[in-house]
C-alpha cells in the first residue's frame, strides 16, 4: 500500500469515479466531481485498504497513514482558507463512512467536527449567530459521543427535554442561545460520565477518534448481519470521508437547494427544483418553509443561477444521465454537495433516454440499457388521472395493477345480464371471493374487488392473466347481498353506484375517478424499435381469446406461447356438456358430450389463429382436474343433477370420487387424456380443423399442440401418437394438410431431469415455471400465506420465487432441462429444439435475462407485459447482468 489518503478539492483530486473499491462509492464520486471542475467543498478519503490494515494490526490506524492524514488536513485548510480549531473562523468538517456498496448499519455522519469551547466563539463571531453556533456545538457532542464513543443518544435527549421543561420551551427552536450554551455544558457532563474523559478540545484528537469509530462500525453487529443476509463478500472494508462543511444559513447571500437536470415526472428537458435563501439543506427537504422554484433563482442570484445552469449541462454531458443534485451557497459561493442519477417515472425515463439520443449524448443501445423494464409497467396500464382528486377510503391487497372505475355489481350472473342491457356501462364486480363459474362475469368487468383472498386467490390469478385491475382481501368491506349494498370503512355503497380501485396500490375510492388509458406512441414506440434491433429472444404472449391475441399483437407479441383452454369450457352451453362428460359412465357417453363442445372449441381456435396470422400459436390441452368443473355445494349439485336428468346422489358420488387432498398434485394435465383419451382427441381435432379452416382463408397458421404436466416420456409417446392419428384423419377428410408441432411443458422436476428422453419425442419445450417453482420448493402458491411473509422479511428467500425465477434451484433444473433436451434432440433428430417459457416469470425482467442466458428461443408473458419483456430481452442481449432487487 503506497498511498493511504486521497485528497480532493479545487479542480483537483487524487482519485476518480472509477475507484469505488478503494475509495468507496461516496469518496470516488466526490473526487470525480472535482476532476470535472465542479465546485465541491474540499476534503479527503482514507481508503478501504487502511480499514483492512486497521483490522489486521489489532485495530490500529497504520503508522504510515497518520502523516498523510495530517498533510491532507493542511491541504483542506489551504484550499478553504480556514484552519482546523481556529478561534476566529474555524474549519469544520464532516466525517462519514462509505464502502464500495451502500450498507446500512455502519456509522452515521458526524457533522461540525472541529468545534471546541474556544472555536465555537470564533463561529459566533464569524456568523454573528450565537444560537446557530451553540446549536452546532451541542449537536457535535451528541453525534460524536453517541456514534463514536458509545454514549447513549437517549441521555442527551433526556437533557434537552429537561432543559425545555425548565425553560417552558415547546420546541427546540424556542431555546435561546444562552439556553443552548447551558445545554452544551450539560452534554459535556453526560459525555464525561460515559467516556471517563472530557469532550476532546483538540480537533485533531476528535478527528482520529472519529476515524477509529468509522472503522469499528465496519464490524459492528448490524453491519455484519447485513452483509450476511445480503450475501456481500469480498469487500476490503469501509473508507472514511472527511470534508469541509459549508453553511447556507449565513444570511441572504447564502442558500440551499435540490434540483433535477430534467423534469423527473415528464422527462422534459427543463431545469427542475427548489431552493431556499438563508437556509440549511434539511429545511428544503423537511418542508418547514415553502421553497421557491429554481427558475426564480435567476432573478435573486443571477450569477449563481448561471453557474448552476453550466453545472447542469456539464454533469449531463459528463455522466450522460439525468442528475439529482444538492447545492449550498455560502456567502455567494456555490458548492455542490451531491450529484447522483435522478429517479424518475417510467414515462420520464423513456422520454429522457430517447431525447438524449437525439441530443447525441448517448447512443441507441445506451438508451435501451438505461430504461428499467419494470418502469414501463406504468405506461402500459390505465392509471388514475393524476389531475383528479381522489381519497382512498380503504385499502386491500394490490392483486393486479392498473386503475378501474365502474358500477358495483354483486354477482357474475348479474354482470352478464347488466352488460347485455347496458353494454357501454363500466362494471366493477364486487364479491366475497370468485370461483371458476364467475369467469364470464369477471371478463366483462372493468375491475374486480373482493373482501377475502390473497395474491394467489382465484380473482387475483385470473385478473392478472387478463391484465385487469384487481384488489382482493379488502377486510374493511362487508357485502350485504340481501340489502344489495356494500359497506366500506363505514360508508354504504349501493349496487349500481360507482366505485374505483387502484390495483397498483390496493386503494379503494368511493365514486367515479377518471382514469387515463395506456398508449404506445412517440418516444415509447421509438425505444421499442431500438430494443428490437438488439434482442435475441422472441417475445410471445399468453392469450386465451382473439381479443387478448389482438391486444398482444399491438404490443409487439410474435406469437402465442400459451393459450390455455380451460376457460373455454365455462361458457353456459359448454359447461353443461362438460359436466355431462365428467358424469358419463363410459367412453361412449364421454364422446357424445365432448362432441357438443367440439364446435365451440374449433370456433375459439379459428378466432385466435386469425388474429395471429403468420405467428405460431401454442395451445395447451386441458390442464385442471375435472372436479373444478363440478359444483361442490349441495345446491349446485342438485341443479346439475336436474339439468342432466341424474339423481343428486349420483352427482355427489362423482364429486366425492373426484375429490383430491392436493389438487395441485392430482389427476390433471396429461394424466387426463391418458385415462380419458377422448378428451385430448376432441381438442386436437378442434385445433387441426380450425387450422385447416384458417389456412383455407389464405392465412398462415402455425399451431403447436402442447401437452401439459409430462413427467415420463411414455406419456408423451402415447399422446403424441394419438394426436398425429387424429390430425391425419382431419387432413384426410379435408383433403389438405397443415404444418403443426407436438411438444410439451416442462413443469415437473422429473421432466427437467429426464429432458433428454422427453426431447426425443417433443418438438418443443415450454417451461411452465409456475408449477416448476411449486414442485421444486414443495410449496403451493395458494398455501404460502402462513410463512412467506416471514421468509421475505427475514431474507430466507431474497425474493418471491413466483415473481422472479429462483436461479439456484428452479433455474438449475431449467439449465439441466435445456442442455439435456437440446443435446438429445440434436443427436437423435439433428434438429434444434425450440425452447421457451410460459410461466408468469416470462414478463419479469430479471427472469427474462436468465432465459436469455440459458439460451432459450422465446419468452411468453401477459399481453400488457410484452413491451417490458422486449426491453428486458434487449438489455440481456446487450450484456446487462441481472439487476439487484
The site map against a copy of itself for 466-505 (x = CB under 8 A) is ----------------------------------------
Q: Is 34 exposed, middle or buried (0-12, 13-18, 19+ CB in 10 A)?
A: buried
* Inter-residue contact 93 to 113 (CB < 8 Å): yes
Rule CB under 8 A: choose which of 40, 775, 837, 874 binds a copy of itself.
775
Our finding on whether 432 is near a copy of itself (CB under 8 A) is no
H and E: helices and strands count for the chain: 33, 34
Reading the block at residue 34, the C-alpha cell is 472535482
Secondary structure (DSSP) of 661-717:
SSGGGSS-TTHHHHH-HHHHHHHHHHHHHHHHHHHHTT---EEEEEE-S--SHHHHH
State which of positions 449-468 bind a copy of itself (CB under 8 A).
none
| Closer residue to a copy of itself in complex, CB, 190/775 | 775
Least Å from the CB of residue 646 to a copy of itself: 20
Least Å from the CB of residue 795 to a copy of itself: 7
Distance, in Å, from the CA atom of 462 to the CA atom of 412, rounded to the nearest integer, reads 14
| Closer residue to a copy of itself in complex, CB, 205/721 | 721
Lookup result for grid cell 409456475:
770
Least Å from the CB of residue 754 to a copy of itself: 6
| Closer residue to a copy of itself in complex, CB, 570/667 | 667
Q: Catalytic pick from 474, 670, 838, 861?
A: 838
Q: Please count the residues of this chain forming the interface with a copy of itself, following the rule CB under 8 A.
A: 50
Rule CB under 8 A: choose which of 224, 496, 732, 787 binds a copy of itself.
787
* Inter-residue contact 175 to 183 (CB < 8 Å): yes
The side-by-side arrangement of strands in the sheet containing 93-98 is 12-13, 5-9, 43-46, 239-244, 93-98, 110-113
Q: Catalytic pick from 4, 419, 443, 458?
A: 458
DSSP state of 146: I
Least Å from the CB of residue 455 to a copy of itself: 14
Instruction: Kindly provide the b/e burial profile for residues 295-314, where b requires at least 16 CB atoms within 10 angstroms of the residue's own CB.
Output: eebeeebeebbebbeebbee
| Closer residue to a copy of itself in complex, CB, 520/658 | 658
| Closer residue to a copy of itself in complex, CB, 136/774 | 774
Our finding on whether 718 is near a copy of itself (CB under 8 A) is yes
Least Å from the CB of residue 671 to a copy of itself: 4
Nearest to 821 by CA among 721, 751, 724: 751
Reading the block at residue 14, the C-alpha cell is 487524487
Q: Taking the mean position of all CA atoms in its chain, how far away is CA 464?
A: 16
Least Å from the CB of residue 257 to a copy of itself: 44
* Inter-residue contact 702 to 619 (CB < 8 Å): no
The site map against a copy of itself for 160-189 (x = CB under 8 A) is ------------------------------
Least Å from the CB of residue 228 to a copy of itself: 9
Our finding on whether 796 is near a copy of itself (CB under 8 A) is yes
- How crowded is the C-beta side of 29, counted as CA atoms within 13 Å? 18
State which of positions 280-309 bind a copy of itself (CB under 8 A).
none
**By CB under 8 A, which span of 49-57, 397-405, 587-595, 793-801 interacts with a copy of itself?**
793-801
Distance, in Å, from the CA atom of 519 to the CA atom of 515, rounded to the nearest integer, reads 13
Least Å from the CB of residue 794 to a copy of itself: 7
Our finding on whether 711 is near a copy of itself (CB under 8 A) is yes
Distance, in Å, from the CA atom of 723 to the CA atom of 744, rounded to the nearest integer, reads 13
Rule CB under 8 A: choose which of 791, 792, 799, 803 binds a copy of itself.
791
**By CB under 8 A, which span of 517-525, 635-643, 712-720, 867-875 interacts with a copy of itself?**
712-720
Nearest to 166 by CA among 182, 185, 177, 150: 182
| Closer residue to a copy of itself in complex, CB, 230/283 | 230
Distance, in Å, from the CA atom of 21 to the CA atom of 44, rounded to the nearest integer, reads 16
Rule CB under 8 A: choose which of 88, 700, 790, 831 binds a copy of itself.
790
State which of positions 725-764 bind a copy of itself (CB under 8 A).
747-750, 753-754, 757
Our finding on whether 273 is near a copy of itself (CB under 8 A) is no
Residues in the chain: 885
Catalytic status, residue 851: no
DSSP state of 786: T
| Closer residue to a copy of itself in complex, CB, 347/780 | 780
| Closer residue to a copy of itself in complex, CB, 417/812 | 812
Least Å from the CB of residue 707 to a copy of itself: 13
Reading the block at residue 75, the C-alpha cell is 491541504
Reading the block at residue 327, the C-alpha cell is 447545492
Least Å from the CB of residue 634 to a copy of itself: 16
State which of positions 640-679 bind a copy of itself (CB under 8 A).
658, 660-667, 671, 674-675
* Inter-residue contact 336 to 39 (CB < 8 Å): yes
φ/ψ (deg, to 5) at 397: -90, 125
For residue 158, give every residue at least 6 positions away whose Cβ sits within 8 Å of its Cβ, in sequence order, or none: none
Nearest to 414 by CA among 484, 516, 310: 484
Does residue 224 come out as left (phi exceeding 0), alpha (psi in the -120 to 50 range) or beta?
alpha
Q: Is 254 helix (H, G, I), strand (E, B) or coil?
A: coil
Catalytic status, residue 838: yes
Q: Is 236 helix (H, G, I), strand (E, B) or coil?
A: coil
Strands 470-472 and 447-450: parallel
Give the chain's end-to-end CA distance (angstroms, integer). 35
Least Å from the CB of residue 627 to a copy of itself: 10
φ/ψ (deg, to 5) at 51: -60, -45
For residue 145, give every residue at least 6 positions away whose Cβ sits within 8 Å of its Cβ, in sequence order, or none: 151, 156, 187, 190, 191, 194, 195, 199
State which of positions 805-824 bind a copy of itself (CB under 8 A).
806, 808-810, 812-813
| Closer residue to a copy of itself in complex, CB, 104/786 | 786
| Closer residue to a copy of itself in complex, CB, 179/747 | 747
Our finding on whether 226 is near a copy of itself (CB under 8 A) is no
Least Å from the CB of residue 790 to a copy of itself: 5
| Closer residue to a copy of itself in complex, CB, 196/786 | 786
| Closer residue to a copy of itself in complex, CB, 281/459 | 459
Rule CB under 8 A: choose which of 219, 777, 803, 878 binds a copy of itself.
777
**By CB under 8 A, which span of 259-267, 283-291, 592-600, 779-787 interacts with a copy of itself?**
779-787
State which of positions 80-99 bind a copy of itself (CB under 8 A).
none
Q: Which residues are designated catalytic?
A: 458, 838
List residues near a copy of itself by CB under 8 A. 658, 660-667, 671, 674-675, 709, 711-712, 714-715, 718, 747-750, 753-754, 757, 771, 774-780, 782-784, 786-787, 790-791, 794-797, 806, 808-810, 812-813
Amino acid at each position: 500500500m503506497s498511498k493511504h489518503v486521497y485528497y480532493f478539492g479545487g479542480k483537483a483530486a487524487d482519485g476518480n469515479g472509477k475507484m469505488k473499491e478503494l475509495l468507496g462509492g461516496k469518496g470516488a464520486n466526490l473526487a470525480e466531481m472535482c476532476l470535472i471542475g465542479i465546485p465541491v467543498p474540499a476534503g479527503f478519503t482514507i481508503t478501504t485498504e487502511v480499514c483492512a490494515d486497521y483490522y489486521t494490526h489489532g485495530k490500529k490506524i497504520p503508522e504510515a497513514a497518520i502523516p498523510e492524514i495530517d498533510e491532507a488536513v493542511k491541504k483542506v485548510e489551504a484550499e478553504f482558507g480556514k484552519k482546523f480549531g481556529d478561534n476566529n473562523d474555524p474549519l469544520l468538517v464532516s466525517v462519514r463512512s462509505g464502502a464500495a456498496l451502500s450498507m446500512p448499519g455502519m456509522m452515521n455522519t458526524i457533522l461540525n467536527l472541529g468545534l471546541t469551547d474556544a472555536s465555537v466563539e470564533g463561529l459566533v463571531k464569524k456568523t454573528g449567530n450565537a444560537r446557530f453556533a451553540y446549536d452546532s456545538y451541542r449537536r457535535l457532542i451528541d453525534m460524536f459521543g453517541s456514534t463514536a464513543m458509545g454514549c447513549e443518544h437517549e441521555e442527551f435527549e433526556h437533557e434537552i427535554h429537561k432543559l425545555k421543561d425548565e425553560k417552558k420551551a415547546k420546541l427546540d427552536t424556542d431555546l435561546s442561545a444562552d439556553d443552548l450554551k447551558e445545554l452544551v455544558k450539560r452534554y459535556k457532563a453526560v459525555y464525561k460520565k460515559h467516556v471517563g474523559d472530557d469532550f476532546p478540545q483538540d480537533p485533531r484528537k476528535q478527528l482520529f477518534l472519529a476515524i477509529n469509530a468509522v472503522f469499528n462500525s465496519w464490524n459492528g453487529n448490524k453491519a455484519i448481519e447485513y452483509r450476511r443476509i445480503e450475501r456481500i463478500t469480498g469487500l476490503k472494508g469501509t473508507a472514511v470521508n472527511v470534508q469541509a462543511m459549508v453553511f447556507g444559513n449565513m444570511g441572504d447571500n447564502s442558500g440551499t437547494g435540490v434540483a433535477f437536470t430534467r423534469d423527473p415526472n415528464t422527462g422534459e428537458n427543463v431545469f427542475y427544483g427548489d431552493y431556499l435563501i438563508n437556509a440549511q439543506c434539511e429545511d428544503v427537504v423537511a418542508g418547514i418553509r415553502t421553497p421557491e422554484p429554481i427558475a426564480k433563482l435567476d432573478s435573486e442570484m443571477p450569477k449563481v443561477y448561471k453557474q448552476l445552469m453550466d453545472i447542469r449541462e456539464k454533469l449531463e454531458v459528463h455522466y450522460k444521465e439525468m442528475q439529482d443534485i444538492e447545492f449550498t451557497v455560502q456567502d455567494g459561493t456555490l458548492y455542490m454537495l451531491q450529484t447522483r442519477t435522478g429517479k424518475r417515472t417510467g414515462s420520464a425515463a423513456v422520454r429522457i433516454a430517447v431525447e438524449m439520443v437525439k441530443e447525441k449524448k448517448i447512443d441507441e443501445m445506451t438508451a435501451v440499457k438505461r430504461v428499467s423494464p419494470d418502469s414501463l409497467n406504468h405506461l402500459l396500464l390505465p392509471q388514475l388521472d393524476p389531475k383528479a382528486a381522489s381519497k382512498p377510503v380503504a385499502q386491500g391487497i394490490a392483486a393486479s395493477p392498473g386503475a378501474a372505475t365502474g358500477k358495483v355489481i354483486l354477482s357474475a350472473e348479474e354482470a352478464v345480464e347488466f352488460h347485455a342491457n347496458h353494454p357501454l356501462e363500466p362494471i366493477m364486480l364486487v364479491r366475497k371471493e370468485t370461483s371458476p363459474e364467475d369467469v364470464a362475469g369477471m371478463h366483462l368487468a372493468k375491475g374486480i374487488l373482493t373482501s377475502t383472498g390473497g395474491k394467489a386467490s382465484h380473482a387475483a390469478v385470473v385478473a392478472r392473466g387478463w391484465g385487469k385491475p384487481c384488489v382482493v382481501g379488502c377486510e374493511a368491506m362487508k357485502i350485504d347481498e340481501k340489502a344489495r349494498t356494500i359497506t366500506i370503512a363505514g360508508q354504504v355503497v349501493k349496487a349500481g353506484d360507482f366505485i374505483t380501485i387502484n390495483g397498483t396500490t390496493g386503494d379503494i375510492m368511493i365514486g367515479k375517478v377518471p382514469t387515463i388509458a395506456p398508449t404506445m406512441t412517440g418516444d415509447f414506440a421509438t425505444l421499442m424499435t431500438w430494443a428490437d434491433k438488439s434482442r435475441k429472444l422472441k417475445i410471445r404472449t399468453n392469450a386465451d381469446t382473439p381479443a387478448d391475441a389482438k391486444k398482444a399483437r399491438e404490443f409487439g407479441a410474435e406469437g402465442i406461447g400459451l393459450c390455455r383452454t380451460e376457460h373455454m369450457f365455462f361458457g353456459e352451453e359448454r359447461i353443461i356438456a362438460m359436466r355431462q362428460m365428467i358424469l358419463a359412465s363410459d367412453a361412449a357417453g364421454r364422446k357424445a358430450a365432448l362432441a357438443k363442445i367440439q364446435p365451440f372449441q374449433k370456433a375459439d381456435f379459428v378466432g385466435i389463429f386469425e388474429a395471429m396470422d403468420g405467428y405460431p400459436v401454442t395451445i395447451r390441452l386441458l390442464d385442471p382436474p375435472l372436479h373444478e368443473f363440478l359444483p361442490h355445494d349441495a345446491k349446485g349439485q342438485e341443479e346439475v343433477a336436474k339439468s342432466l336428468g341424474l339423481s343428486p346422489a349420483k352427482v355427489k358420488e362423482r364429486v366425492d370420487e373426484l375429490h383430491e387432498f392436493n389438487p395441485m398434485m392430482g389427476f390433471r394435465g396429461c394424466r387426463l387424456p391418458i385415462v380419458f383419451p377422448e378428451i385430448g382427441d376432441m381438442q386436437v381435432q378442434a385445433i387441426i380443423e380450425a387450422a385447416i379452416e384458417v389456412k383455407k382463408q389464405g392465412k398462415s397458421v402455425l399451431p403447436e399442440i402442447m401437452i401439459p404436466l409430462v413427467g415420463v416420456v411414455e406419456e408423451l409417446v402415447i399422446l403424441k401418437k394419438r394426436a398425429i392419428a387424429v390430425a391425419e384423419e382431419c387432413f384426410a377428410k379435408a383433403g389438405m394438410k397443415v404444418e403443426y408441432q407436438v411438444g410439451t411443458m416442462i413443469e415437473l422436476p422429473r421432466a427437467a431431469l429426464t429432458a433428454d428422453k422427453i426431447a426425443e419425442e417433443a418438438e418443443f419445450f415450454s417451461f411452465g415455471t409456475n408449477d416448476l417453482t411449486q414442485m421444486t420448493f414443495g410449496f403451493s402458491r395458494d398455501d404460502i400465506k402462513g410463512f412467506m411473509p416471514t421468509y421475505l422479511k427475514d431474507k430466507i428467500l431474497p425474493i418471491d420465487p413466483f415473481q422472479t425465477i429462483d436461479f439456484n434451484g428452479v433455474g438449475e433444473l431449467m439449465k439441466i432441462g435445456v442442455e439435456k433436451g437440446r443435446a438429445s434432440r440434436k443427436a437423435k433428430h439433428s434438429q434444434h429444439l425450440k425452447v421457451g417459457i410460459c410461466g408468469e416469470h416470462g414478463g419479469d425482467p430479471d427472469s427474462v435475462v436468465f432465459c436469455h442466458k440459458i439460451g432459450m428461443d422465446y419468452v411468453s408473458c401477459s399481453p400488457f407485459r410484452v413491451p417490458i419483456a422486449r426491453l428486458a430481452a434487449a438489455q440481456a442481449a446487450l450484456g446487462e447482468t441481472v439487476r439487484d432487487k
